[in-house]
Chain A
Amino acid sequence: MCGLFKTPAYAYITARVRARKRKLIPKETYPKLLNMQLPEIIRFIEESEYKKDVDELSAKFKSIDLLEHALGRSLGASYRKLMDISRGEVNYLITEYMRRWDVWNIKTVLRGKYYGASEEEILNCVVSAGELHYPELELMAKKESIGDVIASLEHTPYYPVLTKYEGGMLNKIEDELDSLSYTRLLDAVGGSPGEKFFLKFIQTEIDIKNLKMLFRLKKAGVEREYVQNILITGGLELKESDLTRLSGLSFSELVHSLDGYSYWRSISDVVSDQMTTLMDVDTKLDAHLMNYASQISHYYPLSILPVLDYVLSKKIEVDNLRVIARGKELKLADEIIRSHLVM
């Protein structure tokens, strides 16, 4: 019975996201963009769906900075549109998923205040894609101190975490905020078939976050207790006992103890205990998550999954365009740019 009530809401939102997805740049375009010169790429983006954002920001930014801000603004507007056109449970799930952008913005404002950055500098780094609207972010950026920013968030779910801030560096508060967004998301997902896959996706994302953190922290030789406290619980394969075990290992031991997990297949060719860079591991794990998302996106057409597919596809498009444009501007080798594209 419950499922029958939900279906019309999903029918509407999934029809809308399918229409929006059709407007996204097809995958075949990226190799062509990669062969273009920078002015051609700029022109392509300026004449695409991003024209409105480029035009509106052209007085404030120039060249690739203009493109990057236009891409970020378009991403924020697309996600906000999803929240506006969805109702009920769908809206609740989308809002919870988009809280990561709220966390991003809160972290940026706090960092800006900590560093003493100007209001303009802070606002140039926010992406208004979550529940917090741009005017609210503007008000936050206008605050005098970190304490004032925290006080202004009193009626948000982030306030209990923020009150733990005791001055100094923000890393612990940042990690707790990120952790909170995942915990809330896990709690928000219900038990319908589509949502079960959505939950699996979130759990996989948590596993991948944990794996990336384990690699980074173990390579830096961070002590076990710190690693254990920072890892996010609620993953799919990496349960709490696994995390406790893995956080006690050295980097070399960690590398050799991952072959039992499904993620190993994605990273085995770039992982070794002598590896000097972890960038390839990050890229491979990101690709693993995207592959999983595209696999499950068609399982239940009238569920949250097509919405998730659109959310991720839009993010991939923005990331790919930025990687190509920035990569060309910064004269990165085509192989490096290609290796970071998700196609």
Chain B
Amino acid sequence: MAIKDTIKPTRSELIGLKKKIKLSESGHKLLKMKRDGLIIELFDILNKAKNVRSEVEKDYEIAQQNLNIAKAIEGVVAVKSTAFALKDAPVITLESKNVMGVVVPRIESTSVKKNIIERGYGIIGTSSRIDEAADAYENLVEKIIIAAEIETTMKKLLDDIEKTKRRVNALEFKVIPELSEAMDFIMLRLEEMEREEIFRLKKIKS
């Protein structure tokens, strides 16, 4: 439907449109600033995400290697038996923080990294292979928790950048041009109506 068909060419409509255009332009400016800010934040996080991802991969390889050695040398039976000695799962607390209006998670963990005497198994009956497998897996879990926080933040920022970009584009290429077009139409129509009025008055006088 054309603008002409939906808009009443009145002065009050023109004033309303002018206000809307002003609001849209300031909104557009703010959203553009938000988008740029989020992109800067994203690039910061991106570097961290790249590093943490490669660290997770490295730690996983070490953990797997140590576990495989423990399984081969001590036996799967011994590794399983030792694993029964600890039943406490790590405690993970989930909080949130605000990055330019985007709510991102803050994950904190406790009791992941344990000292050799806190792992529940006796020292005399176990070996360094078990210690090193447990140690490597604790490191891996800690790194995974950090990676989870960073990667979720990155995902949320990306989603929000996309959303903000769509809004900026909508304002820039759809809303503001349409409002301007409507405003131009009303101004043109009002001018025309004014000219018609003058012409009518002149005709009555003559």
What is the interface size of chain A, counting residues whose CB is below 8 A from a CB of the partner?
57
| Contact A326 B124, beta carbon cutoff 8 Å | no
State whether the Cβ of A170 lies closer than 8 Å to any Cβ in chain B. yes
B residues less than 8 Å from A212 (CB atoms): 127-128
Of residues A116, A232, A278, which shows the largest number of chain B Cβ atoms within 10 Å of its Cβ? Answer: A278
Partner of A116, one of B81, B83, B87, B129: B87
Q: Mark B101-138, 1 if CB is under 8 A from A, else 0.
A: 00000000000000111111111110111011000000
State whether the Cβ of A332 lies closer than 8 Å to any Cβ in chain B. yes
| Contact A174 B73, beta carbon cutoff 8 Å | no
| Contact A281 B128, beta carbon cutoff 8 Å | yes
A-B contact count (CB 8 A): 139
A residues less than 8 Å from B115 (CB atoms): 220-222
Determine how close the nearest CB of chain A comes to the CB of B111; give it in whole angstroms: 13
Given A171-B117, A330-B72, the answer on whether A230 and B132 have CB atoms closer than 8 Å is: no
Of residues B68, B87, B128, which shows the largest number of chain A Cβ atoms within 10 Å of its Cβ? Answer: B128
State whether the Cβ of A103 lies closer than 8 Å to any Cβ in chain B. yes
Quick check: which of A9-17, A107-115, A261-269 contacts chain B, the rest being far away? A107-115
| Contact B71 A326, beta carbon cutoff 8 Å | yes
| Contact A103 B125, beta carbon cutoff 8 Å | yes
| Contact B122 A107, beta carbon cutoff 8 Å | yes
Contact residues of B between 65 and 104, Cβ < 8 Å to A:
65, 68-69, 71-73, 75-78, 80-87
Contact residues of A between 221 and 262, Cβ < 8 Å to B:
221-222, 226, 230, 232
State whether the Cβ of A24 lies closer than 8 Å to any Cβ in chain B. no
Partner of A178, one of B84, B85, B125: B125
Of residues B118, B121, B124, B131, which shows the largest number of chain A Cβ atoms within 10 Å of its Cβ? Answer: B124
A residues less than 8 Å from B75 (CB atoms): 68, 72, 322, 326
Bound state CA distance, A122 and B121, in angstroms? 16
Q: Mark A189-230, 1 if CB is under 8 A from B, else 0.
A: 000000000000000000001001101110011100010001
Given A170-B120, A175-B122, A217-B123, the answer on whether A336 and B128 have CB atoms closer than 8 Å is: no
Bound state CA distance, A46 and B17, in angstroms? 88
| Contact A278 B128, beta carbon cutoff 8 Å | yes
Given A169-B85, A220-B116, the answer on whether A127 and B123 have CB atoms closer than 8 Å is: no
State whether the Cβ of A58 lies closer than 8 Å to any Cβ in chain B. no
Contact residues of A between 121 and 137, Cβ < 8 Å to B:
121-122, 124-125, 127
| Contact B72 A327, beta carbon cutoff 8 Å | yes
Determine how close the nearest CB of chain A comes to the CB of B127; give it in whole angstroms: 5
State whether the Cβ of A313 lies closer than 8 Å to any Cβ in chain B. no
Contact residues of A between 51 and 104, Cβ < 8 Å to B:
65, 68-69, 72, 103-104
Given A68-B76, A330-B71, the answer on whether A111 and B84 have CB atoms closer than 8 Å is: yes
| Contact B122 A322, beta carbon cutoff 8 Å | no
List the interface of chain A (C-beta within 8 A of B).
Answer: 65, 68-69, 72, 103-104, 107-108, 111-112, 114-117, 121-122, 124-125, 127, 169-175, 177-179, 209, 212-213, 215-217, 220-222, 226, 230, 232, 277-279, 281-282, 319, 322-323, 326-327, 330-332, 336-337, 340
12 additional contacts (CB under 8 A) given A104-B81, A174-B124, A282-B129: A72-B77, A115-B83, A169-B120, A174-B85, A175-B124, A175-B125, A216-B128, A221-B115, A277-B132, A278-B128, A319-B73, A330-B71
List the interface of chain B (C-beta within 8 A of A).
Answer: 65, 68-69, 71-73, 75-78, 80-87, 115-125, 127-129, 131-132
